[in-house]
Amino acid sequence: MIRFAVAPRTTLTWRAPSDTEIRAHGAPLWITRPPSVDDYWVQPGDVLRIARGDRIWLGTDDDRPAEASLTTAYVRRGEWLRRALAQVQRLLVGRWRSKD
């Protein structure tokens, strides 16, 4: 587990080298990960899973620092298959969109 602080009103970027869980401590964390249009407000104690290779931006709007912890020990069964199917889907959708 890695634990770090996010200074008030700052934004950091990070790419997950492996499947990771990020947990907020002390203050809510704002997290976004392109190409998703959704933003996540992770409350203290809540966990958000980040897939290997995803780049996220995280920050806090609070006047006090937020702490976050990264845990990379979880493993889901069939993860390699899910990733392979997602990659195929991205390739097919990309080809379909490029023909328009």
Domain ranges of the chain: 2-98
Are the C-beta atoms of 14 and 58 separated by less than 8 Å? yes
pLDDT tens digits, one per residue of 17-32: 888 999 999 889 999 9
Per-residue confidence (pLDDT) for residue 90, from 0 to 100: 84
pLDDT tens digits, one per residue of 52-82: 889 999 999 888 888 999 998 655 667 778 8
CATH architecture of 2-98: Sandwich (2.60)
Q: Which residues contact 13 (CB under 8 A, 6 or more apart)?
A: 55, 56, 57, 58
- pTM, whole model, 2 decimals? 0.67
Decide if pLDDT at 36 tops 90: no
